[in-house]
């Protein structure tokens, strides 16, 4: 059974991303579920230096996913938390073994989808220019880039990887700096004459969305949303 990780930011601000993940998984014939009771994995608390609160969230996360065969997350930032930070936080805890097990079975959703290229590609069509926007936490894999590049009618332009300023702590402590960085990044993207921008970090998506929308800029989507939209059924 594949467990789909539902980041707290996605649950609160972009639930359609979860529906898109499920739709693509259904098209691939995956046995998948989104368990109830998912809360924060502890990333915001860890970023802010509140290790006790992050450790409490980590214990809940390990317990929730203990029966999963595989955990797929749509968030590059949460991937880092689930596979590295949680094992570090719980290294001296009774749940250390569970944390290590969680790290071993957790992957980025995009990476798992890229392995299904032969099944998925015949179902995809898109006409336009696309850009892959790497997050600071983890960029897109070569396999996923190959999948997107092979979609009939799609022209993939050079990727970008500069920080968009999404960070729970930066946005909270220095909102003016975060806003200026996001505005500058969005201005660069608008000049690329793009139809769609794909990012594997929901936080980056939400950080940049207002500035691209303000001047009728390109559509910003998570890859799951994009693939769900262009599936031919």
Over residues 51-77, the pLDDT tens digits come to: 999 999 999 999 999 999 999 999 999
Q: Assess whether 141 and 107 both reside in one domain.
A: no
Q: Assess whether 133 and 166 both reside in one domain.
A: yes
What is the arithmetic mean of pLDDT over 87-100?
96
Instruction: Give the mean pLDDT of the chain.
Output: 89
What pLDDT, on a 0 to 100 scale, did the predictor assign at position 210?
78
User: pLDDT tens for residues 195-233?
Assistant: 999 999 998 888 888 777 645 668 899 999 999 999 965
What pLDDT, on a 0 to 100 scale, did the predictor assign at position 48?
84
What pLDDT, on a 0 to 100 scale, did the predictor assign at position 183?
75
Q: Assess whether 82 and 126 both reside in one domain.
A: no
- The number of domains in the chain is 2
Structural domain boundaries enclosing 52 = 2-112
Q: Assess whether 127 and 51 both reside in one domain.
A: no
Q: Assess whether 151 and 212 both reside in one domain.
A: yes
Q: Assess whether 95 and 143 both reside in one domain.
A: no
Q: Assess whether 86 and 148 both reside in one domain.
A: no
What pLDDT, on a 0 to 100 scale, did the predictor assign at position 213?
65
CATH number of the domain residue 158 falls in: 3.40.50
Q: Assess whether 88 and 147 both reside in one domain.
A: no
Give the rounded percent of residues in the chain with a pLDDT score beyond 90. 69
Q: Assess whether 26 and 75 both reside in one domain.
A: yes
Of 112, 146, 181, the residue that ends a domain is: 112
What pLDDT, on a 0 to 100 scale, did the predictor assign at position 34?
95
Using the predicted structure, report yes or no on whether residue 131 has a pLDDT greater than 80: yes
Per-residue DSSP letters for the chain? -EEEP--HHHHHH-HHHHHHHHHHHHHTT--EE--TT----SHHHHHTT-HHHHHHHHHHHHHHTTT-SEEEES-HHHHHIIIIIHHHHTTTSTTHHHHHHHHHHEEEHHHHHHTTHHHHGGGB---EEEEEE--SS----HHHHHHHHTSTTEEEPPPB-------HHHHHH-HHHHHHHHHHHHHHHHTT--SEEEES-HHHHHHHHHHHHTTT-PEEE-HHHHHHHHB--
Q: Assess whether 128 and 95 both reside in one domain.
A: no
Of 62, 96, 112, the residue that ends a domain is: 112
Using the predicted structure, report yes or no on whether residue 180 has a pLDDT greater than 80: no
Q: Assess whether 92 and 28 both reside in one domain.
A: yes
Q: Assess whether 106 and 48 both reside in one domain.
A: yes
Of 112, 146, 171, the residue that ends a domain is: 112
């Amino acid at each position: 059974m594949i467990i789909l990780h539902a980041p707290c930011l996605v649950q609160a601000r972009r639930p359609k991303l979860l529906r898109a993940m499920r739709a693509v998984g259904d098209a691939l014939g995956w046995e998948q579920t989104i368990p109830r009771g998912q809360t924060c994995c502890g990333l915001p608390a860890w970023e802010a230096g509140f290790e006790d609160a992050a450790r409490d969230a980590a214990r809940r996360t390990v317990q929730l996913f203990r029966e999963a065969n595989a955990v797929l997350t749509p968030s590059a930032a949460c991937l880092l938390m689930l596979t590295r930070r949680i094992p570090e936080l719980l290294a001296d805890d009774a749940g250390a073994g569970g944390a290590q097990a969680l790290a071993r079975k957790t992957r980025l959703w995009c990476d798992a989808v890229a392995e299904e290229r032969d099944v998925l590609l015949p179902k995809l069509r898109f006409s336009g220019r696309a850009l892959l926007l790497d997050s600071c936490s983890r960029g897109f894999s070569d396999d996923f880039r190959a999948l997107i590049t092979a979609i009939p009618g799609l022209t993939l332009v050079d990727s970008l990887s500069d920080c968009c300023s999404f960070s729970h702590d930066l946005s909270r402590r220095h909102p003016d700096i975060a806003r200026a960085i996001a505005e500058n990044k969005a201005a660069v993207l608008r000049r690329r004459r793009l139809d769609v921008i794909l990012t594997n970090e929901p936080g980056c998506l939400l950080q940049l969305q207002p500035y691209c929308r303000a001047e009728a800029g390109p559509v910003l989507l998570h890859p799951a949303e994009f693939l769900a939209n262009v599936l031919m059924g």
